[in-house]
Copies of this chain bind each other. A is one copy, B any other.
Amino acid sequence: MQIRVINPNTTRGMTDTIGNAAQAIASPGTLISATQPAHGPVSIESHFDEAISATGVLEEVAAGERDGVDAYIIACFGDPGLLAARELTRAPVIGIAEAAFHMATLISTRFSVVTTLGRTGIIAEHLLEQYGFRHHCRRVRAAEIPVLDLEDDGDAALTRIIEEGRRARDEDGIGALVLGCGGMADLTDEIAEAVGLPVVEGVTAAVKLTEALVGLGLGTSKVGDLAFPRPKPFIGRYAHFSDHEASGNDETR
């Protein structure tokens, strides 16, 4: 089984961090291939960065389809392009925010999130609402560290995440902590030990969830609103999407 882990930003170091964390947790028969878009922002810290990154994610999914990939992970905590990516494939596609939220509700009744910058908290809140977990999450907290500090100034970043995690433990009445950034994928154990709570990290959670779906023979439904997109012309730099051969004999409504 090959899982394509897509880092939606264009920072190679973070792709490696994410890919390594994914491979480390993967089952023996699972091959992780970590990629990143050829086009896009070096980090994702706003709705704007996220919207731009989504097109890169979609191109990576299209490439994955040509490579015969079995499942996809979108490794940014805003789950950029998730539903669009699902339309492109019969394979499962999992976002890391989604994966972490689901897993957290299975081991605790209430959890909190620690993300990077406060301004991205709203993205997590909107996802919690859409996925149904608004009331399972007590609070979305921010360590107020830029995403790339996780790469460039890892120790200071770790310290701040742990501090915020401890505040969550002491103030929020929670049973688990969710890490709110793909770049934290290698910090899970240290944070869990320092905070004294089960810590759910999205990249690793998504690897196991995609393995689970593939094991069940379940892929993205091609009936209804996640069916392949209707083929149509695309203009300009997206012209290469014009000929995507969605299997035209699928049921759509």
Contact = CB atoms under 8 A, between A and B. Distances in A.
A47 B80 CA distance: 11
A130 interface: yes
Contacts of A205: 212, 216
A7 interface: no
Contacts of A196: 223, 251
Contact of A129 (B41, B47, B118, B129): B129
A252 to B, nearest CB: 6
A144 B230 CA distance: 13
A144 B49 CA distance: 34
Copies in the complex: 6
B130 A88 contact: no
Contact of A221 (B120, B197, B209, B235): B197
A226 interface: yes
A216 B216 CA distance: 18
A64 interface: no
Contacts of A252: 117, 119
Interface string A180-203: 000000000000000011101000
Contact of A236 (B38, B45, B118, B220): B38
Q: Can you list the 7 inter-chain pairs with the closest CB atoms, starting with the nearest?
A: A132-B132, A39-B236, A208-B212, A175-B221, A51-B84, A47-B83, A47-B84
